[in-house]
Structure 1
């Protein structure tokens, strides 16, 4: 017995489209904020003198990369898995929000 994929809902594309528009507008702004956050390391004499600051910046970089990956991955998930459509659409925005929180809670030079 073979299983066939059920036809997707006619409006399957709405949640990922809204998420793509919002995330696509916010991603360059958060990336610019990440560039300004690099100034928090001005008082450091290398990575070993301010490990917490550099670790937080690396975590923000990983979150921005995850937001980009989730932004692309949400489309096939929304098409194939109907119950996960909304969660897949919220994931890139959640990663961006966490990146903003990480960058705003950065302790300069520690």
Structure 2
């Protein structure tokens, strides 16, 4: 498992951080035409999102392009893989809100 995913998992143990992250990811999933992921724990949530994205990649789902556009996934974040790139970019987006 990548260092970025371990970092995110650790930070999501705080409930308010997990809620913000879950809402951010679900917002982008829903706007891209994917179902929202309903999970009450960070580990379940991340596993569900990873499975959803892995299935979409395997099926060459055209909605993925919209999802990565909305999430503003940059090419440099994809060096560790598409799914990790997405999860990390969403993490970067909520960090700004957490600092306010």
TM-score normalised to structure 1 length: 0.36
* Higher relative contact order, structure no. (Cα contacts within 8 Å, ≥ 6 residues apart): 1
